[in-house]
Structure 1
């Protein structure tokens, strides 16, 4: 299988006038938000539809268009955040994958690196390679460390291997030859022979995904790409077909892990780029909001139905990691948590994740300790209070019991709530703890807050940043319920809850830019400035060929100190490449290294590892265009009894009821798509962009 661009997915087509629809799939809900040509904003939130998540996307999209009175033919762009790639890995249901490599390197995936996520857990075992050993094949060829062929590939051997692969029922192949980054055409030749002989098989060449040294990381990245490739291609093909059946023939663009959109055709060739597709869309929206509010440091906090995630944005830019790991229970980009999953070398926003969401199951271990997650009830059967057959207690059940959530409906009235089922599900846990049900529910809330501090600290204090110097922006279906308590635990004084918080990732899709990334490893022939400038020009040409001449281009360098294993990425100023520009980049590297690790070295220790170019084509939609006050949810303001440290009657307001003057908590603000909790000791107001601004008093 050599995926070709899907119909209507050509780059730049998204700029035509009409409706833009952003659709984001979560573990519990599928969120869709549509932006009309005259600025109309129409949201929708429906339960996700596993295993065919595309059905929920099509249903919700047609629903918002009908609600807006818009014709399907009027959609100009479909913008999508999806978890199909990461789900294939987490659920271990990807393609039957083979690896083709150089003789003697069959076990690279097995050997990996000597890293453990838990140092003293003797029961921990390494993850099983995505390509089993019997499906890893060797070729009698070799590319030396100097780039010489000793010997070259024998195409007859590759053709014979193709017949063997066909007999094994292989669905995807990753070609990863030793030192192929020095002779990429040699690896591409092997891949092309396999594609010709195996037209129904998904074939990946590692140099087309991660053309960098270090064969383990490159092999792992290509293997992950091959493993998820058929699933992603099949999903996007079915989604396109479903949309066209409904009369929507707009180009389909997918959010990348790096925070930019990519046309669906390119995604099918490099699906490894969308592992963190959904979470990246939310961070992109927060990035735009931080710029609008002129906030120098922002913690983006996203809590949905399955997980809670955190990311740091400084001076308008999120941290983008060059490599991270997928699988092993969650995706990580930090060294202390590495070793549990499969390394991936593609740009990704650094997002820390913990298994605490609205659907996370509450349990008690053998020692009598209360736990929240990582297991989740998902959308089916869902939390017990949904009445969908779920019997296990979840955080959502706890929130209903505590009075934080409406006892009648959620998601704009689309999900009915049954408080008696929530209490029934929590009763066995309460009995084991020897407490009453409300006290157990409050304990689960506090345990969840405690676990979520781990994610925030991973992107702040572990990077040498003080979380107390940042503002928290909370979104996701459950984020505004927990943000104020989480902020107080971390010493953060201000929390911002934007409009459409439960659909903020979908909103991020509407305002995201189209993005392309290119990378080249540093080689000895690039030692001089003219050679470096020529390589940057080549990478820039590739980016602008895809995005067009209007693309904004940024150059970057991956630098490290001699002897280090990891590098830091720094920006290279615009203009003609000179020694002064390189010196400025080295100075940025020293400063970032000092801030992150507490020390810095001299210029003579700095090594250049990779050259990078990022091209951005602005999407043409400003976040300010969509920050309109949403319509009021059903129901008038009132009050209900809530459990905090004490049980108190708590006012329930709508977002429009808040004004510029702060209102003291406790209080609850209900939107169609999320509920914001303002605890005692905090206050809330609404700013000019209709954000709810929660502030903790000094006391």
Structure 2
């Protein structure tokens, strides 16, 4: 079987090919084509197949992570959306929850008001009303109003129509009928109902999710359709699957039905890969830092389990989106991040990026701004002739010219300015790690830092010193970690049903009703996975009940015991909720009644993964067989910037248990690992680099780490 993982970033498109029959793994990178990502994808697939001596028609699976949906939300260039909604509720998307990030500021921007997903003039009211708590019809829907308003939206030339009625999560009869009328009058337009996109309680979040789905749908679906056509033209006959925000794959057909599930498609693969690599070497607690050309994706992975955002907290650019998402913090910190002096005279780096075009100054494509990559080149940390195996030659003189302008403005030397760029970008990432670990009760000093992305190994050890982490892991293919994560993931779908029930009295009728609802959801999930080619024996189900105390504002997710639901199962759900409430808030109320809000099914279709071969054990110290050459490289030693003779080693020639002491540079096609003085690297059985400080350096840096951690703790 031949499987290809393709992850599109802001600067590079990363690819990995696994050919099980030939027992080979090959990786490749090509510049991303921002005008049409599929162009870079097809180019990369063809080139990687040529490198691997594999015919493109022999590919069985194309697994794809994309930033198309994410980019649409960032750039705000999505579809013109029209909305049909319950009369007197057209302003729900404007009012939201009256919640502001800065409670007392009158100048802050509220995206849902300043840049609404649906403009007010395109939100048209329909006379209809359902009634809580059972969804019975209070006022029938005026079908003529639907017809008239669809014609108005057609005259406005909207791209997509959504239907969002009050209480449709209890009864979707009005939304279904409204969609039928839309299809009758205007069959060419795409129409989504809130009950099919997000059948959950809370009208604002449900409407916002449906609006976001419509906002990204045309461009995402056009991209996927174009990619499918381009793969067919290239004679690639394998199945295309797309990574979802949840960390599960979806068929291309399913992905186009709910494209908002792809909003965190890009970073998800890297998180899965980090967890997998940690488990491979027996490390349970990992901080994944995936540094690419445009951004850095940071994720905390405790106990081998990537954290999932509670749906109530999921959002994209401040718009709530009720969809499963892995917890990833993305910041503007990458190799292309631009360094500058702001209007107040402060030295800053990012979030603006030079991207792949024109790219950093050293690319020689017209870029004149100093970037993080330029700093690494100027300090001798990136060898120009080794970048991407020499395919993209770098121009160090252009890096020096770009940084010189910045240095003159700051009255620094080029080396000081370059180190300043690296320190600022590393500190930005350290602050993000702090936000996602210490503020949530996690001590990052107890976690290994996994360096992913093309720029990850360049920064990881310096970053580890800043946060106090004692171990740095560099996976076999750091530059394409997110692509490798695609090969590890399984097909995964989420199915949800609103089911509001009081659990203080457990009757046979209640148990029967809940069990029937669960089986219906499992049936939907099984039907989708078997349609995707998964056999029934390879399907696993995770069942979740969302519960809260009576009168409480929000619910928590509680696992449902396996097997047919019984009275005892419901009692375990109740006790599980009390325990979850204790873990989340530090207290619980066992005497209070528990209310069930909804049922979730997470259905996983197991798919093949890939295995890393074990390396031959050699136990060499600074092996001459892997030595390439020596070059001057700048490091900060005892507070001073020093140029040190630094040997280069070819990673592909390292064996298990080999040990390399710093200063050193370990070079491979997709990345370069910088090992500072007084750090050392040991190669694991599977080829992962494990970097640790020696005791002398650890003692000297202890005070710095202690000061950083105490400063972090003092903010809590």
In the TM superposition, residue 568 of structure 1 has moved relative to its aligned partner by 3.3
Change in Cα spacing, 1:525 to 1:584, as seen in structure 2 (3 Å) is closer
TM-score, length of structure 2 as denominator length: 0.89
What residue is the counterpart of 1:570 in the other structure?
558
2:469 maps to 1:469:
no
Contact 1:88 1:94 in 2 (8 A): yes
Contact 1:438 1:643 in 2 (8 A): no
CA distance in 1, matches of 2:140, 2:502: 22
Q: Which one is further off, 510-519 or 157-166?
A: 157-166
CA distance in 2, matches of 1:305, 1:633: 32
CA distance in 2, matches of 1:241, 1:129: 33
What residue is the counterpart of 2:620 in the other structure?
none
Aligned pairs for 1:103-122 (under 5 A) are 103-119=87-103, 122=106
What residue is the counterpart of 2:242 in the other structure?
254
Q: Which one is further off, 22-31 or 183-192?
A: 183-192
What residue is the counterpart of 2:621 in the other structure?
none
Change in Cα spacing, 1:138 to 1:477, as seen in structure 2 (3 Å) is same
TM-score, length of structure 1 as denominator length: 0.91
In the TM superposition, residue 59 of structure 1 has moved relative to its aligned partner by 0.5
In the TM superposition, residue 657 of structure 1 has moved relative to its aligned partner by 3.3
What residue is the counterpart of 1:29 in the other structure?
12
Contact 1:685 1:694 in 2 (8 A): yes
Helix, strand or coil at the partner of 1:315: helix
In the TM superposition, residue 607 of structure 1 has moved relative to its aligned partner by 4.0
Contact 1:85 1:275 in 2 (8 A): yes
CA distance in 1, matches of 2:154, 2:585: 50
CA distance in 2, matches of 1:566, 1:539: 23
What residue is the counterpart of 1:337 in the other structure?
none
Q: Which one is further off, 79-88 or 521-530?
A: 521-530
What residue is the counterpart of 1:5 in the other structure?
none
Contact 1:25 1:53 in 2 (8 A): yes
What residue is the counterpart of 1:198 in the other structure?
186
2:82 maps to 1:98:
yes
What residue is the counterpart of 1:690 in the other structure?
687
CA distance in 1, matches of 2:169, 2:381: 55
Q: Which one is further off, 88-97 or 310-319?
A: 310-319
Helix, strand or coil at the partner of 2:518: helix
What residue is the counterpart of 2:171 in the other structure?
183
Contact 1:642 1:650 in 2 (8 A): no
In the TM superposition, residue 498 of structure 1 has moved relative to its aligned partner by 0.6
Contact 1:561 1:605 in 2 (8 A): yes
In the TM superposition, residue 121 of structure 1 has moved relative to its aligned partner by 5.3
Aligned pairs for 1:488-567 (under 5 A) are 488-524=465-501, 528-548=510-530, 549-550=536-537, 551-562=539-550, 564-567=552-555
CA distance in 2, matches of 1:621, 1:287: 14
Helix, strand or coil at the partner of 1:114: coil
2:415 maps to 1:418:
no
In the TM superposition, residue 561 of structure 1 has moved relative to its aligned partner by 4.6
What residue is the counterpart of 1:48 in the other structure?
32
1:574-593, Cα deviation, whole Å (9 max, x unpaired) = 23334544454555555554
CA distance in 1, matches of 2:323, 2:614: 31
In the TM superposition, residue 75 of structure 1 has moved relative to its aligned partner by 1.2
2:599 maps to 1:611:
yes
1:223-278, Cα deviation, whole Å (9 max, x unpaired) = 00001101011001111111111111222110000001000111111000010001
CA distance in 2, matches of 1:588, 1:405: 52
1:361-382, Cα deviation, whole Å (9 max, x unpaired) = 1111233221111111111111
Contact 1:259 1:512 in 2 (8 A): yes
What residue is the counterpart of 1:674 in the other structure?
671
Helix, strand or coil at the partner of 2:200: coil
Contact 1:46 1:414 in 2 (8 A): no
Q: Which has the larger radius of gyration?
A: 2
What residue is the counterpart of 2:709 in the other structure?
none
Of 58, 62, 68 in structure 2, the residue corresponding to residue 74 of structure 1 is 58
Q: Which one is further off, 88-97 or 607-616?
A: 607-616
Change in Cα spacing, 1:346 to 1:382, as seen in structure 2 (3 Å) is same
Structure 1 portions without partners, runs of 5+: 1-17, 329-340
What residue is the counterpart of 1:15 in the other structure?
none
Change in Cα spacing, 1:623 to 1:547, as seen in structure 2 (3 Å) is same
Helix, strand or coil at the partner of 1:357: coil
CA distance in 1, matches of 2:593, 2:299: 30
Aligned pairs for 1:4-403 (under 5 A) are 18-38=1-21, 39-119=23-103, 122-127=106-111, 128-146=115-133, 147-323=135-311, 324=313, 326-328=315-317, 341-403=318-380
Q: Which one is further off, 582-591 or 638-647?
A: 582-591
2:634 maps to 1:642:
yes
Q: Which one is further off, 636-645 or 97-106?
A: 636-645
In the TM superposition, residue 668 of structure 1 has moved relative to its aligned partner by 1.6
**Over aligned residues, Cα RMSD in angstroms?**
2.4
In the TM superposition, residue 95 of structure 1 has moved relative to its aligned partner by 0.9
Contact 1:413 1:634 in 2 (8 A): no
Change in Cα spacing, 1:115 to 1:357, as seen in structure 2 (3 Å) is farther
Contact 1:260 1:513 in 2 (8 A): yes
In the TM superposition, residue 57 of structure 1 has moved relative to its aligned partner by 0.1
CA distance in 2, matches of 1:118, 1:244: 50
Change in Cα spacing, 1:594 to 1:444, as seen in structure 2 (3 Å) is farther
What residue is the counterpart of 1:439 in the other structure?
416
CA distance in 2, matches of 1:509, 1:471: 22
What residue is the counterpart of 2:705 in the other structure?
none
CA distance in 1, matches of 2:659, 2:614: 24
Helix, strand or coil at the partner of 1:306: coil
In the TM superposition, residue 191 of structure 1 has moved relative to its aligned partner by 1.8
Change in Cα spacing, 1:555 to 1:32, as seen in structure 2 (3 Å) is same
Change in Cα spacing, 1:364 to 1:595, as seen in structure 2 (3 Å) is farther
Contact 1:86 1:326 in 2 (8 A): no
CA distance in 2, matches of 1:185, 1:302: 45
CA distance in 2, matches of 1:267, 1:594: 37
What residue is the counterpart of 1:13 in the other structure?
none
CA distance in 2, matches of 1:181, 1:627: 55
In the TM superposition, residue 325 of structure 1 has moved relative to its aligned partner by 5.2
CA distance in 2, matches of 1:485, 1:304: 17
What residue is the counterpart of 1:654 in the other structure?
650
Q: Which one is further off, 384-393 or 580-589?
A: 580-589
